[in-house]
């Protein structure tokens, strides 16, 4: 689709760089709204009195008109399917071409341990290290690339795309609860 994702934060450039590196990199540009502090956030109505900004998503069309706004709690995750729908409404032909280019949805891997994750998830990195330390074989599914997998995670996690999520021999565990994971793996 003919769209550009930008991340904007009231943090300084060095802070944004460190944050992006801590996530293993970001696939979209990050912009600093640091000086004058929060000027962009204030214009969009999401600058808080204490100098922080709300977590928000704006979809702006080619004419500069805001077509969609989602202001949400820092712990909640926006619904990507809703965002795809907004973008598809703005550019139906591009959306159709994009959808046609997507590979078919892969079925869930038939292995003992499936880790549903995202490339940027810090907890997912901890799980990978933990599984390596314990010599646990697993298959990793990136829910940012496999929308069918993302939908499975949303079903298991009360509508959220929570990562990491595990399917360990048919037992679903949402988030990295080491005691639950160890029990499911027979380590406890």
Q: Determine, yes or no, domain membership for 106.
A: no
Write the CATH number for 46.
3.40.30.10
pLDDT recorded at residue 90? 83
Most trustworthy range by pLDDT among 50-54, 64-68, 76-80, 112-116: 112-116
pLDDT recorded at residue 6? 80
Q: Is the pLDDT of residue 46 over 60?
A: yes
Q: Determine, yes or no, domain membership for 146.
A: yes
From the list 129, 27, 54, the residue with the least C-alpha distance to 164 is: 129
Domain boundary pick from 48, 71, 101: 101
Domain boundary pick from 101, 127, 151: 101
For the chain, the average pLDDT equals 84
Q: Is the pLDDT of residue 8 over 70?
A: yes
Q: Determine, yes or no, domain membership for 107.
A: no
Reading the block at residue 52, the tokens are 């922080």
Q: Determine, yes or no, domain membership for 1.
A: no
Q: Which domain holds residue 141?
A: 113-185
Is 24 in the same domain as 72? Answer: yes
Strands 165-168, 171-174: pairing is: antiparallel
CB neighbours of residue 77 within 10 Å? 16
pLDDT recorded at residue 173? 96
Q: Is the pLDDT of residue 129 over 80?
A: yes
100-116 pLDDT, tens digit per residue, is 555 555 667 789 999 99
Reading the block at residue 34, the tokens are 């640091």
Band of residue 158 on the pLDDT scale cut at 50, 70, 90:
confident
Is 84 in the same domain as 151? Answer: no
Is 92 in the same domain as 125? Answer: no
Is 15 in the same domain as 97? Answer: yes
Is 31 in the same domain as 89? Answer: yes
Is 90 in the same domain as 14? Answer: yes
Q: Are residues 46 and 39 in contact, defined by beta-carbon separation less than 8 angstroms?
A: no
């Amino acid at each position: 689709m003919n769209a550009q994702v930008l991340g904007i934060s009231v943090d300084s450039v060095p802070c944004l760089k460190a944050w992006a590196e801590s996530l293993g990199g970001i696939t979209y540009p990050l912009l600093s709204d640091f000086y004058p502090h929060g000027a962009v956030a204030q214009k969009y109505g999401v600058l808080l009195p204490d100098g922080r900004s709300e977590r928000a998503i704006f979809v702006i069309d080619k004419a500069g008109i805001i077509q969609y706004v989602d202001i949400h709690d820092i712990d909640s995750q926006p619904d990507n399917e809703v965002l795809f729908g907004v973008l598809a409404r703005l550019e139906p032909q591009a959306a159709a071409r994009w959808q046609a280019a997507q590979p078919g949805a892969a079925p869930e891997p038939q292995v003992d341990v499936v880790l549903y994750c995202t490339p940027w998830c810090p907890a997912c990195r901890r799980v990978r290290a933990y599984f390596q330390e314990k010599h646990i074989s697993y298959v990793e599914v990136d829910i940012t690339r496999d929308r069918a997998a993302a939908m499975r995670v949303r079903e298991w996690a009360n509508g959220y795309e929570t990562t990491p999520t595990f399917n360990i021999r048919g037992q679903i565990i949402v988030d990295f609860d080491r005691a639950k994971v160890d029990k499911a793996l027979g380590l406890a």
